[in-house]
Structure 1
Amino acid sequence: MCTSISFCDRGLYGRNLDLEYHFGEQVVITPRAYPFTFHHSEPLTSHHAMIGMASVAQNTPLYAEAANEAGLYMAGLYFPGNAHYFEEPDPGYLNLAPYELIPAVLGRCATAAEARALLETVRLAAIPFAPGYPLAALHWQVAGPDGSFIAEPMEDGLHFCDDVAGVLTNNPPYPYQVMNLNNYRGLSPRTPENTFAPALDLKVYGQGFGGLGLPGDVSPMSRFVRVAFCKQHAVFPDSRDGQVTQFFHLLDAVSMVRGTVITPEGRCDETTYSCCYDAKERVYYYKTYDSGCLHGVRLTEELAGGDALHCYPLADKPQFVWDN
């Protein structure tokens, strides 16, 4: 389970990754001349540099989410029971495995419009990275300076939705998530009037009455509603540091506390990391469940050159600042 948020006007994008295990995740910069190879298409030997969270297997970055130097962001989120991939390639399409999608799009495209045009030619193939690797059921949020959209692989191919909320979680498909927001149209950050019974002297005994009914659980639909509400009303300061910090507060509003969600296998589903990519400064920020401190990796011009991956292990130990 995961939550992804896009602020195209602010150039801020990021997500919570909620999972019951670690997958060797680390921050990985892929420079412009690193060669990407694909099962059913020609290698990509020159492309936009990108940065994001990935595991590295056989010297290949397997990105959970990433952004490129042009400011285009793409995140894959779990979409079980709905995601459909095709067993046989179709020569009329660009056939890509799910793990190939982020490099293919971010490597070639600079805007959401370019990404959507490319994805309209794509047919997703049921190919795992290697034997023993899972074929993850995913859908994707794609966002850039010109807007955001959702791509969902269904039985008849990729479906595209304008990302009107700037939010993606998991099931159900995106149109149902947006339709469900109608059930909460009366919520507000302000204290409501007493329309229940104006003749009764009903007291306001605290703040937050406008949000009564906002879901508090971490199921996908509830997280979608809660983070969409918070995103619509969040107040951002003028400073860039403050804006990044506020972005993480939004992610905190839908994070999973270890021990509150137990999978059928008896594992704790938790927010293993949260991240935010600042497209203006080309900095990838993250914090892990155990660290809690914000860490940053900058996509510099020097690192964007060359042909070798740059990998940064995560800081995952508690960190404290002592004032005495």
Structure 2
Amino acid sequence: MCTAATYKTQDFYFGRTLDYEFSYGDEITVTPRNYPFHFRHMGEVTSHYAIIGMAHVAGDYPLYYDAVNEKGLAMAGLNFVGNAVYQEVEEDRENIAQFEFIPWILSKCASVKETRKALNKMNLVGTPFSEQLPSAQLHWIIADENEAITVECMKDGMHIYDNPVGVLTNNPPFEQQTFQLNNYVGLSPKQPENRFSDKLNFNAYSRGMGALGLPGDLSSASRFAKVAFTKMNSFSGTSEKESVSQFFHILGSVDQQRGCCEVADGKFEITLYTSCCNTNKGIYYYTTYENHQISAVDMFGENLNERELIKYPLIKGEQIYWQN
């Protein structure tokens, strides 16, 4: 279970939580412009846009969970179990395996507008990375500073939705998620007005009652509504530190704490990491479950004309600043 969101101040920010019961061994991974991508059905691409994001690197291949390229296009894949159905390989289409989807789009597209054109030619197939790593059932949010879309490949084909909310979680499908926001149309960050009856006097006994009814559980639909409300009503300064801090607060509204979501006997889903990428500057910020201090990697601080992946292990131990 995961949550992704966008946020705009002076710059554009994109990030996600990754909620699961264990980690595959994730690293901040920079793919430079000349790293050779070997696509299963489309051959080798040796020159492309540079990419930074969170990935599990298997056999020197970056299996990205979320990433942004040097042009500011961002993308994340989130679990869509039970609904994701991939297409069959077709000779006259650009056949891209599910695990290659993020590299394929971010290596060649500079905007959502270009992505839409690429998707019209593309066939998203279920070719697995390996026997040990079968195709994950996912759907995706793709965004730049101007717009966002959601891509879902289902039994009846590929669906591409405008995503004006700039949020994605998991099931149900995206159209149902956005429709359910109608249930919360009366919520407000302001104190509520008495519309119950002009014959009765009510006392607003607490602050925040304008948002009474906003869900707080950990289900996908509830997290979608919670982050959508939080993001849409969020306010911060435009500086980098203020914007980044606010973004982590937005996604912090749906953090999963160990013990609250039991997936097996004694196993709990937690927020393994939270990311926030300044897509304009190529800076990837993150926190982990054990480390609330924000860490960062600057893509443009690297030599982006190299051929080898650049990897940074996550800082996981809690960092505490002692004042005495």
TM range (shorter): over 0.9
SS in 2 for 1:202: coil
One-letter amino acid of the counterpart of residue 197, structure 2: A
Name the CA distance, whole Å, in 2 between partners of 1:180 and 1:280: 32
The Cα shift of 1:266 comes to 4.3
Name the CA distance, whole Å, in 1 between partners of 2:264 and 2:157: 30
One-letter amino acid of the counterpart of residue 32, structure 2: P
SS in 1 for 2:76: strand
SS in 1 for 2:251: helix
Within a 5 Å distance, the mapping from 1:1-324 to structure 2 comes to 1-7=1-7, 10-86=11-87, 88-264=88-264, 266-300=266-300, 302-324=302-324
SS in 1 for 2:90: coil
Q: Which has the higher strand share?
A: 2
Displacement over 3 Å in runs of 4+? none
Question: TM-score, with normalisation over the residues of structure 2?
Answer: 0.97
Verify the 8 A CA contact 1:275 1:285 in the aligned structure 2: yes
Moved more, 198-207 or 210-219: 198-207
One-letter amino acid of the counterpart of residue 173, structure 2: P
The Cα shift of 1:24 comes to 0.8
One-letter amino acid of the counterpart of residue 33, structure 1: N
CA offsets per residue over residues 265-293 of structure 1, 9 Å max, x none?
A: 54211100000010222100000000111
SS in 1 for 2:62: strand
Name the CA distance, whole Å, in 2 between partners of 1:285 and 1:249: 13
Verify the 8 A CA contact 1:188 1:210 in the aligned structure 2: yes
CA offsets per residue over residues 79-134 of structure 1, 9 Å max, x none?
A: 01110013x41012111111101000000000011112112222121211111113
One-letter amino acid of the counterpart of residue 67, structure 2: A
SS in 1 for 2:263: coil
Verify the 8 A CA contact 2:7 2:247 in the aligned structure 1: no
Name the CA distance, whole Å, in 1 between partners of 2:130 and 2:204: 59
Name the CA distance, whole Å, in 2 between partners of 1:265 and 1:138: 25
One-letter amino acid of the counterpart of residue 236, structure 1: S
Verify the 8 A CA contact 2:28 2:55 in the aligned structure 1: yes
SS in 2 for 1:303: coil
CA offsets per residue over residues 122-162 of structure 1, 9 Å max, x none?
A: 21212111111132000000001331100000123210000
Verify the 8 A CA contact 1:8 1:144 in the aligned structure 2: no
One-letter amino acid of the counterpart of residue 136, structure 1: A
Give unpaired runs (5+ residues) of structure 2.
none
Moved more, 130-139 or 295-304: 295-304
The Cα shift of 1:5 comes to 0.5
Name the CA distance, whole Å, in 2 between partners of 1:154 and 1:136: 13
SS in 2 for 1:160: strand
One-letter amino acid of the counterpart of residue 205, structure 1: Y
The Cα shift of 1:51 comes to 0.3
Verify the 8 A CA contact 1:257 1:270 in the aligned structure 2: yes
Name the CA distance, whole Å, in 2 between partners of 1:270 and 1:301: 31
Moved more, 144-153 or 210-219: 144-153
SS in 2 for 1:182: helix
Name the CA distance, whole Å, in 2 between partners of 1:316 and 1:134: 27
Give unpaired runs (5+ residues) of structure 1.
none
Question: TM-score, with normalisation over the residues of structure 1?
Answer: 0.97
Give me the identity figure in percent.
43
